[in-house]
Amino acid sequence: MTVTLTALELAECFRDGAYSPVESAEEALDAIERVDGRINAFCHVDREATLAEAGRSEERYRSGAPLGPLDGVPTSIKDIFYTRGVPTLRGSHLLADKPGATDPASWPDDAPVTSAVHEAGCVVIGKTTTPEFAWKGVTDNTLTGITRNPHDPALTPGGSSGGAASAVAAGLGQLALGTDGGGSVRIPAAFCAIVALKPTYGVIPMFPSSPFGTLAHAGPMTRTVSDAAAFMDALLRPDPRDWSAVPARATTPGPGGYLAAATEGTRGDRPLEGLRVAYSPTLGFGRNDADVEREVTRAVGVLSELGAHVDTADPGVTDPVDAFHVLWFAGLAAVLAPHGPDAIERVDPSMREALGRYHDYSAADYLDAVAVRMALGARMADFHQRYDILITPTTPIPAFDVGSDVPPGWHSPDWTSWTPYTYPFNMTQQPALSVPCGTTDSGLPVGLQVVGARFEDRLVVRVGAALEVALGRVVPTPRVHAGGAGGDDR
């Protein structure tokens, strides 16, 4: 059964002839038909197109010319990225209700990352759900409905890349491509017990440019750190359409690629020898669920055994949420502007309410927020002169009930109020990786966040890989899973 294999394991099976890309694609598509009704991770699946892609991959293997180490691996793409011939509706009636919106001819272009997925030979099995315009930390909208967590379908998978996380966790494809403007790959990774990397801004080119500006990143979502690393190596394809992308010489994989870094993190008994690590349970301003903090603290203890020197230390920053709100909601207002003055009446009600709270910003407010962002980045750069790596919980709480942007009885209506450890690193553009590290007493996944200085992405991957191996399997198979091992694949 291919759905239970990692991406690298599956690709090795393709090379050995144990499985074919067509067999794998058929299993993934059958699994989507069988279990996605429980979690609603996909908003678009084209069986015929997927099998045609898989057939081309199979021919490449037969001729001894696969396009790369991930050729043939089932992959999903978040419905934020342009995909040639496939509607990109971004969870919004504002786009879906336009004439011709579902006509393949209306979508002639691939985003840079979508092109990279195809160039790597990955087989696209569908597009995954997103909250409207990827605006919040849970995944629901009035166009495609509520996306649910495979570990417990009564709970949210997080967001905004919740469809991608649910798909990977449920065995519906080994690789997923997500976006992250305030935690959107890391939050659902923590809630669904998968791995996700928000790389340094500009390492993966973005086009069209996001209305959220340089807060918005693309990143891989996978079952293992090694899979995320291999996917990163495939995604490093500079594109001239993104003027802010890092130059090709800084992103070319070569001998120092991401997969090599992950491999280095699993070599020997003390692969992190001499590394300076700061553990900040709260960043100095958060508050954690007791089970979450217990599991993250336990996992941090393993770092010393791997050779790292670990201190408990806060970076000395204050919560930048007010500045983040200015940047975020200014971007969200820009999303709606082209759709006319009545657009606000046709969007997610919670988006409308949030824009009602955060709409009265001036140019001076925006510039002040930029100044806060710059100061935060400078403070973190100084902190990383003393520490190579910062560890935090990915989120201070585990997954909560679907149908709301915040947990029941929460003190704030804002999704940012329960994601204090993710959005600061969108502001500073630093690489941040979420890896599973344990479960709460009720069995819900807990994620640990590994943060590095800008452009130290490979070091972050190395630390994540070392932790993953040292911790072993820390989360049980989800209740809803294509392999059935979770006990509920109906």
What's the predicted TM-score (pTM) here?
Answer: 0.97
Quickly count: other Cβ atoms within 10 Å of residue 349's Cβ: 9
**Which SS3 state, helix, strand or coil, does residue 425 take?**
helix
Structural domains present in the chain: 2-471 (3.90.1300.10)
The single residue of 24, 57, 161, 184 carrying the catalytic annotation is 184
Give me 358's structure tokens. Answer: 């955060």
Q: Are strands 432-439 and 195-198 parallel, antiparallel or unpaired?
A: antiparallel
Quick check: is 78 catalytic?
Answer: yes
| pLDDT recorded at residue 490 | 37
Of the candidates 187, 163, 245, which has an alpha carbon nearest to the alpha carbon of residue 429?
245
Quick check: is 184 catalytic?
Answer: yes
| pLDDT recorded at residue 484 | 85
- At residue 82, what is the residue type? Y
| pLDDT recorded at residue 330 | 97
Give the Cα-Cα-Cα angle 135, 138, 144 (nearest 5 degrees): 80
The single residue of 20, 24, 76, 78 carrying the catalytic annotation is 78
| pLDDT recorded at residue 488 | 56
What DSSP character marks residue 210? Answer: P
| pLDDT recorded at residue 221 | 99
**Which SS3 state, helix, strand or coil, does residue 164 take?**
helix
Tell me the Cα Rg of the chain.
21
Give me 326's structure tokens. Answer: 């200015």
Phi, psi of 15 (to 5 degrees): -65, -35
Residue-by-residue pLDDT tens, the chain, 490 positions: 899 999 999 999 999 999 999 999 999 999 999 999 999 999 999 999 999 999 999 999 999 999 999 999 999 999 999 999 999 999 999 999 999 999 999 999 999 999 999 999 999 999 999 999 999 999 999 999 999 999 999 999 999 999 999 999 999 999 999 999 999 999 999 999 999 999 999 999 999 989 999 999 999 999 999 999 999 999 998 889 998 888 755 555 556 799 999 999 999 999 999 999 999 999 999 999 999 999 999 999 999 999 999 999 999 999 999 999 999 999 999 999 999 999 999 999 999 999 999 989 999 999 999 999 999 999 999 999 999 999 999 999 999 999 999 999 999 999 999 999 999 999 999 999 999 999 999 999 999 999 999 999 999 999 999 999 999 999 999 999 999 856 454 3
Quick check: is 20 catalytic?
Answer: no
